[in-house]
Chains A and B, each alone.
Chain A
Amino acid sequence: MMVKVRIWGSLQKATDNKEFVEVEAENFKQLLDNLSLKYPKLKPQISRGVSVAIDGLIYKNSWFTPIKPENEVVLMPYMVGG
């Protein structure tokens, strides 16, 4: 299933300046794996860590969190806190 993913501003250089990209994914891990495959310039940031917001809820790294085509999916920097 194709999932539409929003890329943050400074990371859009890695996606040919596209704000939205589409990749095959049914879960968090597939999303990151396929983003790295399709857009290799995303790989350094994904390797350092990213979070993914799915319908507004932010997920840090749970690989098997399901993602559906109708979900709003947004790539975000890896969350840190104090």
Chain B
Amino acid sequence: MSPLDNTYEKQFKVIGTRPPRPDGIEKVTGKAQYGADLYVPDMLYAKILRSPHPHAKIISIDTSEAEKLDGVKAVVTSKDFSKFSDNKPSDTLVNCIAHEKALYDGHCVAAVAALSNTIAKSALKLINVEYEILPHVTDVDEAMKTDSPIVNKGYVLENVPKGFSENVTSYYEFGHGDLDNGFNNADLIVERTFKTEAAHQGYIEPHACLASMTPDGKADLWCCTQGHYNVRALCADIMGMESSQLRVTPSEIGGGFGGKTTIFIEPIALALSLKSGKPVKLVMTRDEVFKATGPTVSSSMDVKIGMTKDGVITAGEANLRYQGGAFPNGTVEMGAQSAFAAYDLKAVRTKGWNVLTNRPKQAAYRAPGAPQAIYAVESVVDELCQKLNLDPLEIRIKNAAKKGTKSSYGPTFDDIGLIATLEAAKKHPHYLAPLEENQGRGLSCGFWFNFGGDTCVTLNVNFDGTIGVTEGNPDIGGSRASISQMAAEELGISYDKVRTIIADTNSLGHNEVTDGSRVTFAVGLATIKAARAAIKEMCKRVSLIWGIDEDAVRWENGSAIPAGPNAGQFDPMSIEEIAAMSSQTGGPIAGHHEVNAEGAGVSFGVHLADVEVDKETGSTKVLRYTVFQDAGKAIHPSYVEGQMQGGAVQGIGWALNEEYIYGEDGRLQNAGFLDYRIPVASDLPMIEPVILEIPNPGHPYGVRGVGETSIVPPLAAINNAVSRATNIRFSELPLSPPKVLSSLKKEINDG
């Protein structure tokens, strides 16, 4: 089935070029308006009081002394939210502000708005919270045991088998074939247990918002977010408002990567604004971002794979246990579906358990759930290849999923780009480049689904023939440029005649969050359709001017022309001419398109990593890194390359250094970039991106998502490289120097 019209085989003029980024000057000169950059008259400053305990019953909160402090204008606790709704508070609200219990170190318990940040901070010290400290659990395996402290009651779904703690909230199983038979046919079986720690998205801009709410129930909210329509829906629900009365305007965004797909502080600012009668600004510190926003899940995973001597994978099995903090999450099912997606297997089974712990509620992070599962599977595949003395790239080609493969998650693949991606890696000079002592090369495949979703676009033809595109998805990866390119391509005009802006929630219908690698696919699709609607209208106007049928006019290279010799002899009429006469021919010209975009194609990537391990310190240096990815049609190749490089860098950080470290007291030990180390430019070589353009038949130009797949392979690519460099198989991330050094020493001591 081909649900959409496909014109991707046409010769493009604008698509595939690399125009300058439209937000470049503002960003490099510091003029871009981020979440914390908005100031309005009479604005108050808010601060949040957070629980120092990972798990504690809130006996009482006394705010009276704080309220008396000069300059304090409002204090809120969970009780202030109960008047907005009679319903049970949503998980989102309880995560924003603790109700009966503090569920993790850093959970918000109260907030203050004052004339200055200094006064607000002082007021926090005057709030007296009486806690009853409860036992806590932060480790996923511990949390699953029947004698574990129960984090949050009442969340167990009907699909969870008996025999687990109430912290196990959901269970999923996928696969097909006879596993026993598959393993019986193997010449070698490797079975290992892996662990990954939670990693933060590490966006440089902390969460920030400014809320202005009036007593009659109207509100304006400015915030940095990946999806302001979702912010509106969640906040309106919490505040008991109608959506029309809450206008949300997104700021420029300093990174999100999935972490800004939900809300953390916005209802607090709205409630403080309502209570104080003043606009309220609330900006998180970095410490708060780490403690109280959403990192990834951490995981514990068992993987078992069988292989014949000549490299045929006979069976694969994975058991995945993901903790996602104090509220239920839907991540392990994505990992369980992704784990073996790169392989054509006769027998495969994955099982997954989502688990509660006393940690912050996990949020999405590029391809949520997939990097962990694929890290474990790809590490075992590499170990099998090494033990059987087989080429890991040839073995992946031999077992690769392709058109007609029954995927490990159920559907049969149509055209997919995995083998082309692997072949590109095989031909690349990187794969055969020589290695020296203490160096190793790692390889991993990666996979992600991608999706579309609700999308609205308005395309206005200005009187001078230039174009204004209005869309509703915050630009986290260069989408404004790509959207302008697609509008220009369709209209047959140059890129610089188009400007794309992100509108507030009142300007367009609902737009799904900027996530799922959906924006260039879905907003692009809507833009193309909106441009076609505008072209249809322009052809109609020209038919009126020429006095011929509408069907006798067609569009070519930015002008209306007669459709054929029978239409009559007319000189082409350019978009500028048509726009200039639009008032006289019927009024302003615009095109719209509203759609729930479906048909996003899945995407595969292959990463090659060369590392050198310092055996005296355990430190790993990445020497060379190449990313191969099926990107569909690359609209703006520089941005596509940036997505591929960025995902790789984040995955390398996750593999080598990044981790949430909890103490025995259940408190986060490293809530800052000094102790939570993300890679910086000087840590890494240039990441070489190799784009493969295998068109997605579900998009008019062949676009498929590119933003998430690139974070999936680095964990295993780095793990495999370090394992080969040291001849020690590692199975816990991150591969931080102390961990690697400890294993090296153990290897020496064990002889």
Given A6-B410, A55-B414, A58-B451: A80 and B598 within 8 A (CB)?
Answer: no
* A residues in contact with B306, CB < 8 Å: none
Stretch of B37-45, B132-140, B330-338, B376-384 that contacts chain A: B330-338
Interface residues of A in 9-36 (CB under 8 A from B): 9-11, 13
Residue B159 contacts which of A11, A60, A65, A71 (CB distance < 8 angstroms)? A11
**Interface of B, helix, strand, loop or mixed by DSSP:** loop
Do the beta carbons of B333 and A82 come within 8 Å of each other?
Answer: no
- Which one of A11, A44, A60, A72 has the highest number of Cβ atoms from chain B below 10 Å of its Cβ? A60
- Which one of A9, A53, A54, A55 has the highest number of Cβ atoms from chain B below 10 Å of its Cβ? A9
Nearest CB of A to B487, in Å: 24
Stretch of B86-94, B363-371, B388-396, B546-554 that contacts chain A: B363-371
Given A44-B158, A79-B516: A10 and B368 within 8 A (CB)?
Answer: no
Nearest CB of A to B724, in Å: 30
Q: How distant is the Cα of A3 from the Cα of B603 in the complex, in angstroms?
A: 28
Q: How distant is the Cα of A1 from the Cα of B676 in the complex, in angstroms?
A: 57
Residue B451 contacts which of A8, A11, A60 (CB distance < 8 angstroms)? A60
Interface residues of A in 55-82 (CB under 8 A from B): 55-62, 65, 71-72, 74-82
Nearest CB of B to A18, in Å: 14
Do the beta carbons of B600 and A10 come within 8 Å of each other?
Answer: no
Do the beta carbons of A77 and B172 come within 8 Å of each other?
Answer: yes
Q: For this complex, into which size category does the number of interface residues on chain A fall? A: 20 to 34
Extra inter-chain contacts (5) besides given A59-B598, A65-B598, A76-B411, CB under 8 Å: A8-B173, A57-B3, A78-B330, A81-B367, A82-B708
Q: B529 an interface residue at 8 Å Cβ cutoff?
A: no
Q: Can you list 20 A-B pairs with a CB-CB distance of less than 8 A? A: A8-B174, A53-B411, A54-B1, A58-B411, A58-B600, A59-B598, A60-B453, A60-B596, A60-B598, A62-B598, A76-B337, A78-B330, A79-B449, A80-B364, A81-B368, A81-B450, A81-B708, A82-B366, A82-B367, A82-B368
The count of residues in chain B whose C-beta lies closer than 8 Å to any C-beta of chain A is 51
Nearest CB of B to A75, in Å: 8
**Interface of A, helix, strand, loop or mixed by DSSP:** mixed
- Which one of B366, B409, B411 has the highest number of Cβ atoms from chain A below 10 Å of its Cβ? B411
Q: How distant is the Cα of A54 from the Cα of B698 in the complex, in angstroms?
A: 13
Select from chain A the residue with minimum beta-carbon distance to B403: A56
Do the beta carbons of B158 and A9 come within 8 Å of each other?
Answer: no
Select from chain B the residue with minimum beta-carbon distance to A11: B159
Do the beta carbons of B365 and A13 come within 8 Å of each other?
Answer: no
The count of A-to-B residue pairs whose CB atoms sit within 8 angstroms is 112
Do the beta carbons of B518 and A81 come within 8 Å of each other?
Answer: yes
* A residues in contact with B602, CB < 8 Å: 58
Interface residues of B in 121-139 (CB under 8 A from A): none
Do the beta carbons of B334 and A80 come within 8 Å of each other?
Answer: yes
Do the beta carbons of A81 and B451 come within 8 Å of each other?
Answer: yes
* A residues in contact with B366, CB < 8 Å: 82
Interface residues of B in 305-364 (CB under 8 A from A): 330-331, 333-334, 337, 349, 351, 363-364
Given A78-B330, A80-B516, A81-B449: A57 and B1 within 8 A (CB)?
Answer: yes
Do the beta carbons of A71 and B1 come within 8 Å of each other?
Answer: yes
Nearest CB of B to A77, in Å: 4
* B residues in contact with A56, CB < 8 Å: 411-414
* A residues in contact with B331, CB < 8 Å: 80
Do the beta carbons of B516 and A81 come within 8 Å of each other?
Answer: yes
Q: How distant is the Cα of A6 from the Cα of B412 in the complex, in angstroms?
A: 11
Given A76-B337, A79-B516, A81-B368: A55 and B449 within 8 A (CB)?
Answer: no
By Cβ-Cβ distance, the 3 closest A-B pairs, closest first, are A82-B258, A81-B516, A82-B364
Do the beta carbons of B412 and A77 come within 8 Å of each other?
Answer: no
Do the beta carbons of B258 and A81 come within 8 Å of each other?
Answer: yes
Do the beta carbons of A82 and B349 come within 8 Å of each other?
Answer: no
Interface residues of B in 450-464 (CB under 8 A from A): 450-453
Do the beta carbons of B414 and A44 come within 8 Å of each other?
Answer: no
Q: B666 an interface residue at 8 Å Cβ cutoff?
A: no
* A residues in contact with B365, CB < 8 Å: 82
Do the beta carbons of A9 and B159 come within 8 Å of each other?
Answer: no
* A residues in contact with B601, CB < 8 Å: 57
